[in-house]
Structure 1
Amino acid sequence: MDLKLYSFSGAPQRKRRAGGALTPKALLLGCALVVACGPADTPPSRASASLTMDLPPIRTFPTRAASPPQRSNSDMARDFLDLSFRLEGGTEMPVFTRFETPVTVAITGKAPATLRPDLEALLLRLRNEAGLRINLRPASDVPASITIEAVSRDRIQRLLPHAACFVVPNVSSIEEYRRTRRQPQTDWKNLRSRERLAIFVPNDVNPQELRDCLHEELAQALGPLNDLYRLPDSVFNDDNVHAVLTGFDMLMLRATYDPALKTGMRRADVAARLPAILARLNPAGQHQRSAPLPATPRAWIAAVETALGGFANRAQRARAANTAAQIAREQGWQDHRRAFGHFLIGRSLQATAPEQAEAHFRTALNYLGSGPDTAPHRALNQSRLAAYALRAGNTARAEQLIDAAYAAAQTSQNAAQMATLLSLKAHIAESRGDKRTAAALRSESAGWALYGNGVDALPTQPLREVAAADPSAHR
């Protein structure tokens, strides 16, 4: 099984937490070998002339605001409370916490070239969309509110073996965390105020994984501590379908820092003030119909974690995927979680039973509707179904699926998935004899692959042909 954050087609892998926010294992990348990237809202830059291969421009995303959430404020009030007053393992937090002063952020360690521009773009979004008082500042003798230290993945995993990146309270360096990791102050369940936190990110992974770490870990450092599988529109969800902060996430952070709340408040006090806060911040949510999703049982979570995990064999992952789908059926779910079970089964069957796999991907789409919240979920299935359509010679259907998935991948800033979809389009263009268009699409695909998968993905460009002919290449 791939241990990248996303496979070349953008399939999610498992994200874990252990005392902090842990994200999936990653494909190794010497980021310094890619390029010195400009800010996220600048044109792509050229690779270093010192490289021995002829690389296309690395592609980066412009800084854009997310679309507002499309759900009822009453439902999102419940989400806010469950995100803010519970840890992922189920521990209830007695009080609400946030930073009570303007937040300063510092970068330390050996940062890859893409870290600073991606972080600056994220901080700009946090100021504009969440209304936060947060700024990047040079490292100094006085610790920043949040220190982001870039270290090797190996060093991170010597401390937390299953982690790619994580956030810890009351420290400012990985060395300080190493000394205090078994002490009460670094345990999230003892958190009563936020004054100093550290985020540890790997400096030897692809730019997309590093960016995704920044989004989730910085959001957790600032606000919600929990993950909820029932959320269709959030990075605070261990299915990893959303990787950059969404409109829902920004609303949760804006509510976290609303003047009506303060550190030390009890859950009942926050719950009493939330309706007025959300009505003021998101008036459109007052008119949305309430449609609360049921809680997710621990057995389903365990099955999904096994199905996505890198530490189970193929047979165990397949059994776990079927268990997740069975539990969803028994629960009577009709939402994205029901679809996710079928996606997991389909992925487990791609190599051995492709016709059954295709049927499960189609079933997954049936449970995902047509709303914007589940567009990235649909894209995971559409990209695979496009490959099946190409294999069957149905080019028109393949193009329809590719275009739908590509739009979602662009919106959710999934460069890895965009790279795969562009390579499929190149295959179609070449099959029609349009070699010029095919070459342009492959160059663009490689530019997004540099960001989404890293420079090591480029020598595997023949994957574009495998992907077009064999959906199992999308694992």
Structure 2
Amino acid sequence: MKRSLILCLVVALTGCTPLPGKNPASAAVEPDALPPMVTFASPRPSPPSGSNTDIARDFLDLSFRLESGRDLPILTRFEGPIRVRVTGAPPPTLRGDLDRLLLRLRDEAGLDIATTSSSTAEITIQAVSRRNIQRVLPTAACFVVPNVTSLTEYRRLQRSNSITWSRLQRRKHLAIFVPNDVSPQEIRDCLHEELAQAIGPLNDLYRLPDSVFNDDNMHTVLTGYDMLLLRTYNHPSLRNGMTRDEVTARLPAILASLNPEGEGRASRPLQETPRAWIHAIETALGPGASETERMQAGKEAVRIATELGWTDHRRAFSHFAMGRLLRGTDPDAAQLEILRADRFYAKSPQTKLHRAYVASQLAAHAIAQGNGAEALNLLRPHLDTAARHENAALLATLMLLRVEALELVGRRTEAEALLLDSLGWARYGFGEDWAVFAKMHEISALNPQHKNTGGS
């Protein structure tokens, strides 16, 4: 299984990266004097909010199907303690983020999981360059494979049945390959997604609004819902080799004990996501397609979602993707699509994070129109949401947008202070100093006050 290279929905706001320039706020920041990187301290996951009936259905579809749509005959997992080792060339932030993740898995999912230096570890995390990952899987940001311990071994066995998930009888050892030359947040996101699939379900479902087990990449760290899934997957009532029917029979009692709040909630099942919609979304936002193909695919995703009568987050995501595609060529049409996305996201309390992404797009448009007051109103509810979900790239983006909005309404002192606060998060979210400054200047270029100051 792999974390796909669906285009980051928060990095690009304008469709291109402007040439560096300085505005009154950014002039206070020297290129060699960025503040220290900031990271998140204590996790604040929200508990799962769905009914146990719906969670059971999701669990079965996640556990007995691959992302390709192929069914899995039996449940496979590790039995006993799980030990994790790190090899390759890990960057400094990887081990700290891994330790925090393992602590959460022990506390929230009840797993006996810890790091080790032994070569007999159940899970090996190898940190390699992004280029090396894409030489073997061009569309993957990172991935997990059974029965290997290194990328060299994976290359040797790439066409072998021994690394095929559908033929696996039990999980004994596996490898996770993560890039070591991307931003700290990208590496952490890979750890969360790939380690979750290493010890839990292998599938992703677009119908899940509050989970990393969803290829829309909205959630980047494990949620309360995800921790319930992992606790269920590793429950002592289940075992290796169980069929879907056998697991189905055990699930009601397991979920009733682990999630009693879900027993009294009404079932609100969402319909299956057709492969045609998935293909359209992945073409529109993934690598390899031309601009024309992306646009056609985006329109197709909206058409399918509309004809199916969806009103959930997938309908919203269809419009959001279309808005992103249109931003560089038709800002007014893009704005209408983003507004449509927000209307559908607003229908559910489970999509606060999604609305924070939307707010970044709406606020960018307001700033480009010179309307700082509107941008401030749009941004205000969402900074804490980004922080709660530990998304530094989104948080820094929202803060930088707020800097420009404050500039527009004449609150320059506040803007300068907020800019400095934002850059510590930007260093974690975007990585290298050049990427931080590129993001800062990209957002600064939206502000019409800077059009004649070199910031365009």
* TM-score (normalised: structure 1): 0.86
Partner of 1:125: 104
Deviation at 1:111, TM superposition (A): 0.5
Partner of 1:362: 339
Moved more, 388-397 or 85-94: 388-397
**CA shift in 2, pair 1:107/1:469, >3 Å:** farther
The letter of the residue matching 1:459 is F
The letter of the residue matching 1:249 is D
**CA shift in 2, pair 1:125/1:5, >3 Å:** farther
Partner of 1:442: 419
Deviation at 1:8, TM superposition (A): 5.0
Q: Which of the residues 9, 12, 37 maps onto 1:58?
A: 37
Q: Which of the residues 92, 100, 107 maps onto 1:113?
A: 92
Moved more, 259-268 or 54-63: 54-63
5+ residue gaps, structure 2, are 14-29, 450-456
Whether the aligned pair in 2 keeps the contact of 1:5 and 1:209 (CA below 8 Å) is no
- The equivalences for 1:232-381 within 5 A come to 232-369=209-346, 371-381=348-358
**CA shift in 2, pair 1:308/1:469, >3 Å:** farther
Partner of 2:397: 420
Secondary structure of 1:76's aligned partner: helix
Whether the aligned pair in 2 keeps the contact of 1:387 and 1:469 (CA below 8 Å) is no
Partner of 1:90: 69
Partner of 1:16: none
- CA shift digits 1:38-64 (9 cap, x unpaired): xxxxxxxxxxxxx98212111111131
The letter of the residue matching 1:399 is L
Q: Which of the residues 433, 437, 447 maps onto 1:459?
A: 437
Partner of 2:16: none
The letter of the residue matching 2:32 is M
d(CA) in 2 for partners of 1:5 and 1:254? 31
Partner of 2:8: 6
Whether the aligned pair in 2 keeps the contact of 1:382 and 1:404 (CA below 8 Å) is no
The letter of the residue matching 2:246 is D
d(CA) in 2 for partners of 1:310 and 1:229? 19
d(CA) in 2 for partners of 1:469 and 1:273? 61
Greater relative CO, 1 or 2 (CA 8 Å, sep 6+): 2
Q: Is 1:70 the counterpart of 2:72 in the alignment?
A: no
Deviation at 1:74, TM superposition (A): 0.2
- CA shift digits 1:297-329 (9 cap, x unpaired): 111001000011121122211111110010011
Deviation at 1:428, TM superposition (A): 2.5
Moved more, 196-205 or 402-411: 402-411
Deviation at 1:365, TM superposition (A): 1.1
Q: Is 1:402 the counterpart of 2:379 in the alignment?
A: yes
Deviation at 1:81, TM superposition (A): 0.3
d(CA) in 1 for partners of 2:246 and 2:420? 55
Moved more, 370-379 or 246-255: 370-379
The letter of the residue matching 1:76 is I
Partner of 1:80: 59
The letter of the residue matching 2:112 is R
* TM-score (normalised: structure 2): 0.90
5+ residue gaps, structure 1, are 12-50, 471-475
The letter of the residue matching 1:451 is Y
Q: Which of the residues 128, 134, 146 maps onto 2:113?
A: 134
Q: Which of the residues 159, 171, 174 maps onto 1:197?
A: 174
- The equivalences for 1:44-55 within 5 A come to 53-55=32-34
Deviation at 1:10, TM superposition (A): 7.5
- CA shift digits 1:108-166 (9 cap, x unpaired): 1110011000000000110111111100112x3x4201000111111112222222211
- CA shift digits 1:55-104 (9 cap, x unpaired): 21111111314111110110010000000011111111111111111000
Secondary structure of 1:106's aligned partner: strand
- CA shift digits 1:22-47 (9 cap, x unpaired): xxxxxxxxxxxxxxxxxxxxxxxxxx
d(CA) in 2 for partners of 1:52 and 1:352? 32
- CA shift digits 1:330-355 (9 cap, x unpaired): 11111000111111111111122212
Partner of 1:41: none
Whether the aligned pair in 2 keeps the contact of 1:300 and 1:328 (CA below 8 Å) is yes
**CA shift in 2, pair 1:440/1:147, >3 Å:** same
d(CA) in 1 for partners of 2:245 and 2:6? 41
Aligned alpha-carbon RMSD (Å): 2.0
d(CA) in 2 for partners of 1:5 and 1:350? 14
The letter of the residue matching 2:374 is R
Partner of 1:430: 407
Whether the aligned pair in 1 keeps the contact of 2:373 and 2:409 (CA below 8 Å) is no
Deviation at 1:429, TM superposition (A): 2.5
Partner of 1:30: none
Deviation at 1:371, TM superposition (A): 4.0
d(CA) in 1 for partners of 2:247 and 2:448? 54
Secondary structure of 2:70's aligned partner: coil
Whether the aligned pair in 2 keeps the contact of 1:6 and 1:416 (CA below 8 Å) is no
Deviation at 1:459, TM superposition (A): 3.0
Deviation at 1:467, TM superposition (A): 3.7
d(CA) in 2 for partners of 1:307 and 1:137? 41
